[in-house]
Amino acid sequence: MSGQERMATEEQTKKNPWHEGLTPEALPEAGHLRLVAERCGMGVALSLAEELAGMQIYIASPDNLVAALKKQYIRDKFNGTNHEALALETGYSLRWVYEILREEEDVKQDPLF
């Protein structure tokens, strides 16, 4: 357990003494809280349980989290001829780089009427 995880668990234990000694194995197998506890620590799992109890949450993949940043990077770094370099830098296909740049052009163009 890392120092941060230990501090988070200790903080949760201060809030509720019943949390002391709680382990991931003691959590229900149904749902994902046990998985969170095993991967991120009991402190994180308990914080989520207290703050978001009863909610269903979706956690996007890291690729989805940075997609907007990659698109903006492509728009900012495009020099008119570096499609392939941008595809390699971002891990996107050449076709997807063209699509992103086409979207940018569509936004820039004002409607005629």
Query: pLDDT, tens digit, for every residue of 10-53?
Result: 565 567 787 888 889 988 887 788 999 999 999 899 999 889 98
Name the average pLDDT for the chain: 85
Question: Please, are residues 34 and 24 in contact by the beta-carbon 8 Å criterion?
Answer: yes
* 46 lies in the same domain as 79: no
- Whether residue 113 is contained in a domain is answered as no
The residue segments making up the domain with residue 84 are 62-108
* 31 lies in the same domain as 70: no
- Whether residue 26 is contained in a domain is answered as yes
Cβ partners under 8 Å of residue 44, min gap 6: 5, 8, 36, 37
- Whether residue 57 is contained in a domain is answered as no
* 77 lies in the same domain as 104: yes
Question: Please, are residues 42 and 25 in contact by the beta-carbon 8 Å criterion?
Answer: no
113: its two tokens: 């009427």
CA 17 to chain CA centroid, Å, is 31
Residue predicted with more confidence, 2 or 85: 85
The domain that holds 66 is classified in CATH as 1.10.10
* 70 lies in the same domain as 90: yes
Evaluate if residue 79 carries a pLDDT over 90: yes
